[in-house]
C-alpha cells in the first residue's frame, strides 16, 4: 500500500521508484501484483505515462484512511505517554494576518514547537498535500470537502484600501469601491488567495483593476511606501505592521467579505499540543475582535 500511495501521489514511475529507493521494474511488478490482488487496474498506462484511474482513486481514498488511522494511533500513543508530541504543523495563505498571534503563541508556549508553510491557492485543491497539516488558517472559500471542519477566527474581514499619505484618497475616510477603478494597484501574485479575493471583488463591482505590479507581500509593502500605487487589503491586514505608514480608507460598499478560519481534518487525531494551539487562536482572535475599532465609520 505504501508503494501504491507514493505512485498515486506522483503518477510517475521513475520518480516514485527513486523516492522509494527501489528500481522502476521492481515498483512496476509490485503494482501489478496489487492490481491482480484487487482484481482490476488502478492505473491507466499511456506509453511511459501512468495515470490514476477511477478505480485507483477509490482505492486511494481507503488507503489514505488506513494511513491516517495509523498516524492517529501513533500520535495518541505519544500523547498518552510521558514523551508527548509537542509539535504543530500549520499552513497559512497569508504571511501577514497571523504573525502577531503566532509570535504570542510561541512566547506563551515555549515547550511547543511550531512550523508553518505558506500555501498557494492551487495547493488547496490537493487533499493529500493538505492532509499533512494539523491546521490550515485561511478563508472559508479556499478549502472544500467533507473531510474538513473549521472554527471561525475572524468572522467579517472587510476589505479596505491602503494608500500612501500624499495620495488624494488619503483625505477620505471612506469611498465606494467603483471610485478606485482607475487607480494603479500593487497586487500580490495570482497564486495567492488574497489575489482571488481582489479579482472577484473588482469583477462584482464591474471593473478590471489596473495592476501596475504583481509581487509578494513584502515587495507590495515596499512599493506602496515608494508611492508606486495603492493596495487592496483587509482590516485584519491593516491591523498589522505589514503596511506601516499607510493610510487606510474604508470601502463603503464591499462586494465581498472574507471569513478567516482555522481548518482541521476530521479524520486526524489532534495532539494535546494541537488542541492547545487551536484553543489559543480562537481565544486570541475573539479578544481581538472585541477590542479593535473599525478602520472607518
Domain limits at 27?
A: 2-73
CATH code of 16's domain: 1.10.10.10
Per the structure block, which three cell numbers stand in for 288?
A: 481581538
Predicted local distance difference test score (pLDDT) of residue 268 = 86
CATH code of 197's domain: 3.40.190.10
Instruction: Read off the pLDDT of residues 58-85 as tens digits, 9 standing for 90 and up.
Output: 888 888 778 777 776 776 676 655 455 5
Is 287 a domain residue? yes
Per the structure block, which three cell numbers stand in for 162?
A: 491602503
Predicted local distance difference test score (pLDDT) of residue 296 = 46
Is 78 a domain residue? no
Given a cut of 50, the residues of the chain with pLDDT beneath it are 82, 296-297
Is 205 a domain residue? yes
Is 53 a domain residue? yes
Predicted local distance difference test score (pLDDT) of residue 25 = 86
Predicted local distance difference test score (pLDDT) of residue 297 = 43
Residues 239 and 106 in one domain: no
Is 268 a domain residue? yes
Where on the phi/psi map is residue 107: left (φ > 0), alpha (ψ -120 to 50), or beta?
Answer: alpha
Q: Which long-range contacts (CB under 8 A, 24 or more apart) does 145-150 make?
A: 146/266, 147/265, 147/266, 147/267, 148/263, 148/264, 148/265, 148/266, 149/263, 149/264, 149/266, 150/261, 150/262, 150/263, 150/264
Residues 245 and 174 in one domain: yes
| Tally of domains in the chain | 3
Is 115 a domain residue? yes
Predicted local distance difference test score (pLDDT) of residue 203 = 95
Amino acid at each position: 500500500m505504501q508503494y501504491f500511495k507514493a505512485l498515486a501521489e506522483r503518477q510517475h514511475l521513475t520518480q516514485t521508484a527513486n523516492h522509494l529507493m527501489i528500481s522502476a521494474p521492481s515498483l512496476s511488478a509490485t503494482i501489478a501484483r496489487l492490481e491482480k490482488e484487487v482484481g482490476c487496474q488502478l492505473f491507466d498506462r499511456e506509453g511511459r505515462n501512468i495515470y490514476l484511474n477511477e478505480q485507483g482513486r477509490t482505492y486511494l481514498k481507503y488507503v489514505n484512511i488506513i494511513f491516517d488511522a495509523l498516524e492517529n494511533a501513533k500520535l495518541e500513543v505519544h500523547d498518552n505517554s510521558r514523551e508527548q508530541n509537542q509539535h504543530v504543523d500549520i499552513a497559512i495563505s497569508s504571511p501577514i494576518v497571523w504573525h502577531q498571534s503566532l509570535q504570542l503563541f510561541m512566547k506563551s508556549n515555549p515547550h511547543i514547537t511550531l512550523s508553518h508553510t505558506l500555501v498557494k491557492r492551487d495547493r488547496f485543491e490537493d487533499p493529500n498535500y493538505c492532509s499533512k497539516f494539523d491546521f490550515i488558517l485561511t478563508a472559508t472559500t479556499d478549502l472544500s470537502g467533507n473531510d474538513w471542519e473549521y472554527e471561525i477566527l475572524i468572522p467579517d474581514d472587510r476589505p479596505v484600501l491602503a494608500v500612501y499619505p500624499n495620495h488624494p484618497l488619503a483625505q477620505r475616510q471612506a469611498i465606494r469601491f467603483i471610485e478606485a477603478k482607475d487607480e494603479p494597484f500593487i497586487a500580490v501574485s495570482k497564486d495567492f488567495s488574497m489575489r482571488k479575493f481582489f479579482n472577484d471583488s473588482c469583477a462584482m463591482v464591474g471593473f478590471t483593476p489596473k495592476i501596475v505590479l504583481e509581487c509578494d507581500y513584502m515587495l507590495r509593502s515596499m512599493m506602496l511606501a515608494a508611492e508606486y500605487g495603492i493596495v487592496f487589503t483587509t482590516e485584519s491586514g491593516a491591523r498589522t505592521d505589514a503596511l506601516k505608514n499607510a493610510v487606510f480608507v474604508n470601502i463603503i460598499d464591499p462586494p465581498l467579505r472574507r471569513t478567516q478560519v482555522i481548518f482541521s481534518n476530521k479524520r486526524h487525531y489532534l495532539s494535546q499540543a494541537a488542541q492547545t494551539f487551536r484553543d489559543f487562536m480562537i481565544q486570541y482572535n475573539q479578544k481581538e475582535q472585541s477590542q479593535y475599532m473599525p478602520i472607518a465609520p
